[in-house]
């Protein structure tokens, strides 16, 4: 049986998942291209102090690679990275991966894709899988004078471990999950932490308990227990997701929980500064068992006045106060709308990705696009990635892609892409459903696109998995029986 030539771009969660899916389905001619030095994606790049996943460990894993050795309810970044590397290597992906090689361009020509890499090489492939994720281009804020600061300036996603933290007064800019984790980790470890808050966050309380050796031994001896606990987490998250996409009891309950948690801040003035003016979950919900305790410490200062400029010795805020600092940390997130860019991707008739996404990223079912035959995406636009494990999304999308590859092997088509009509209908349904979601209730977040609507799946993740694992409607696709390689 003929083997398609396949390029997988990226070796993070979705790239690892895709590579293993290809291997398990019997495909042998595939290459993973990874610009970094190892597997792991965002879990390789992010190494800042206090990094913890906000999805439970026993749910944030591949169903085909259950891990009985998790040490905590919510795993640290290094532990997740080690898990991903181990799974990838156990499945032999290191022999298929070109590390330190970035894909710079991909152009569709005469029935195949010409992929150019940073080493100047160009190779032809029948299929390209873009597993680049969406949290890999750090967003560096445009603050006047930032380049003049005399001390270290580090972005949370590019942490410089050569910088000695002890004895430093550290300013943290940003109050999302990263900013709250950094403050929680740094408080009490350095003389002063100043948190510059533009928008307060709702904090969901939790207890990050440690798994004891006996617990891990039981999971090792009874593998079915991992699947059972995974299913329990899945049901809990399914219920939680109803609050994201529909107003009602779940949404009101979450609001009650986070408001009650905020009351643990005793100082009424500080509590007022930490109180958001939007609904819980409108922004990605922050999960923390340490932040409110940390921000109430005497060596932690919360600043709500806007940053006017940075000068060599610190930060000047709009109220005229100078905050003397030795180090600045930018917990300012990522360009979450970039997806595969800056790769120069060109489809049929010379149409580029930048052209078709001029008004914002859009795709068909989060996996394919018109005019880009045999190009697939994992964790693409409008995938369900809000407070949901990307492992589950990647597995579902990989299964859809494998289905198409098998049909290609059977000779049913040479190239495939969704039709414009099907893509327009699909995106119109997404837009129509968006207003009922919590993400459109009045806050600004990285979920929102240029049109002010969330670039997220507006229904439950379970509904998406059911869709993506179903048999595709042939009327939604343009299949070309072009001459293909023997």
Among 448, 444, 423, 445, which residue's Cα sits nearest to residue 434? 448
Give the side-chain half-sphere CA count within 13 A for 93: 31
180 sits in which H/E element:
helix 177-186
In sequence order, what are the beta bridge partners of 479?
A: 416
As a whole number of angstroms, the distance between CA 424 and CA 121 comes to: 36
Report in angstroms the alpha-carbon separations of 96 from 31, 37, 102: 5, 14, 15
Give yes or no for a contact between 180 and 201, defined as CB atoms under 8 angstroms apart.
yes
CB count within 10 Å of CB 258 equals 20
As a whole number of angstroms, the distance between CA 216 and CA 71 comes to: 8
Q: Which residues contact 258 (CB under 8 A, 6 or more apart)?
A: 202, 203, 204, 205, 280, 285
pLDDT by position in tens, the chain (length 486): 789 999 999 999 999 999 999 999 999 999 999 999 999 999 999 999 999 999 999 999 999 999 999 999 999 999 999 999 999 999 999 999 999 999 999 999 989 999 999 999 999 999 999 999 887 788 899 999 999 999 999 999 999 999 999 999 999 999 999 999 999 999 999 999 999 999 999 999 999 999 999 999 999 999 999 999 999 999 999 999 999 999 999 999 999 999 999 999 999 999 999 999 999 999 999 999 999 999 999 999 999 999 999 999 999 999 999 999 999 999 998 887 778 999 999 999 999 999 999 988 999 999 999 999 999 999 999 998 777 899 999 999 999 999 999 999 999 999 999 999 999 999 999 999 999 999 999 898 888 888 888 888 999 999 999 999 999 999 999 999 855 444
Taking each continuous run of H as one helix and of E as one strand, the counts in the chain are 13, 21
292 sits in which H/E element:
helix 291-295
Give yes or no for a contact between 183 and 48, defined as CB atoms under 8 angstroms apart.
no
Is residue 372 exposed (0-12), middle (13-18) or buried (19+ Cβ within 10 Å)? buried
CB count within 10 Å of CB 154 equals 18
DSSP state of 176: S
As a whole number of angstroms, the distance between CA 351 and CA 106 comes to: 12
In this prediction, residue 484 carries a pLDDT of 46
Q: What is the dihedral of CA 381, 387, 388, 391, to 10 degrees?
A: 80
DSSP state of 290: S
Full DSSP string of 386-450: SSS-HHHHHHHHHHHHHHHHHHHHTTS-SEEEE-HHHHHHHHHHHHHHGGGSGGGSS---TTB-T
Give yes or no for a contact between 393 and 464, defined as CB atoms under 8 angstroms apart.
yes
- What 3-state class would DSSP assign to 29? coil
As a whole number of angstroms, the distance between CA 160 and CA 158 comes to: 6
Q: Which pairing describes strands 169-173 and 192-196: parallel, antiparallel, or unpaired?
A: parallel
Helix axes 390-409, 13-24, angle to 10 degrees: 40
Give yes or no for a contact between 138 and 160, defined as CB atoms under 8 angstroms apart.
no
| pTM of the predicted model as reported, rounded to 2 decimal places | 0.95
As a whole number of angstroms, the distance between CA 402 and CA 395 comes to: 11
Dihedral pair phi/psi, residue 259, rounded to 5°: -65, -40
């Amino acid at each position: 049986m003929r083997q398609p030539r396949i390029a997988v771009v990226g070796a993070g969660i979705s790239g690892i998942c895709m590579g293993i899916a290809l291997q398990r389905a019997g495909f042998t001619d595939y290459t993973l291209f990874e610009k970094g030095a190892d597997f792991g994606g965002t879990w390789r790049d992010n190494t800042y102090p206090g990094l913890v996943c906000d999805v439970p460990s026993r749910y944030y894993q591949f169903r085909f690679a259950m891990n009985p050795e998790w040490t905590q309810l919510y795993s640290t970044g290094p532990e997740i990275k080690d898990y991903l590397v181990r799974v990838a290597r156990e499945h032999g992906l290191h022999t298929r991966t070109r590390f330190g090689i970035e894909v710079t361009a991909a152009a569709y020509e005469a029935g195949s894709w010409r992929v150019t890499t940073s080493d100047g090489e160009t190779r032809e492939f029948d299929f390209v899988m873009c597993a680049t994720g969406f949290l890999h281009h750090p967003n560096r804020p445009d603050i006047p004078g930032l380049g003049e600061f005399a001390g270290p300036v580090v972005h949370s996603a590019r942490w410089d471990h050569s910088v000695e933290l002890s004895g430093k007064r550290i300013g943290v800019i940003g109050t999302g999950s990263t900013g709250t984790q950094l403050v929680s980790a740094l408080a009490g470890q350095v003389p002063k932490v100043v948190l510059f808050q533009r928008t307060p966050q709702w904090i969901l309380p939790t207890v990050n308990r440690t798994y004891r050796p006996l617990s891990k031994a039981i999971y090792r001896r009874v593998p079915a227990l991992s699947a059972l606990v995974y299913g329990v987490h899945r049901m809990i998250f399914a219920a939680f997701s109803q609050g994201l996409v529909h107003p009602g009891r779940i949404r009101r309950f979450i609001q009650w929980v986070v408001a009650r948690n905020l009351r643990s801040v005793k100082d009424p003035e500080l509590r007022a500064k930490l109180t958001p003016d939007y609904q819980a979950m409108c922004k990605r919900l922050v999960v923390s068992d340490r932040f409110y305790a940390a921000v109430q410490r005497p060596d932690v200062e919360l600043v709500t006045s806007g940053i006017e400029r940075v000068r060599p010795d610190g930060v000047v805020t709009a109220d005229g106060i100078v905050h003397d600092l030795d180090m600045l940390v930018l917990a300012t997130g990522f360009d979450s709308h970039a997806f595969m860019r800056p790769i120069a991707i060109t489809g049929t008739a010379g149409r580029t990705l930048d052209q078709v996404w001029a008004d914002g990223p859009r795709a068909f079912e989060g996996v394919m696009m018109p005019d880009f035959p045999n190009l697939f995406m994992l964790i693409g636009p409008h995938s369900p990635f809000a407070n949901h494990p990307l492992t589950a999304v990647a597995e579902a999308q990989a299964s859809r892609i494998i289905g198409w590859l098998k049909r290609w092997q059977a000779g049913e088509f040479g190239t495939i892409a969704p039709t414009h009509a099907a893509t327009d209908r699909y995106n119109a349904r997404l837009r129509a459903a968006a207003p009922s979601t919590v993400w459109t209730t009045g806050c600004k977040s990285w979920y929102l696109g240029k049109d002010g609507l969330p670039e997220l799946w507006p229904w439950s993740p379970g509904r998406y998995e059911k869709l993506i694992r179903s048999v595709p409607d042939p009327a939604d696709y343009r299949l070309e029986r072009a001459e293909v390689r023997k």
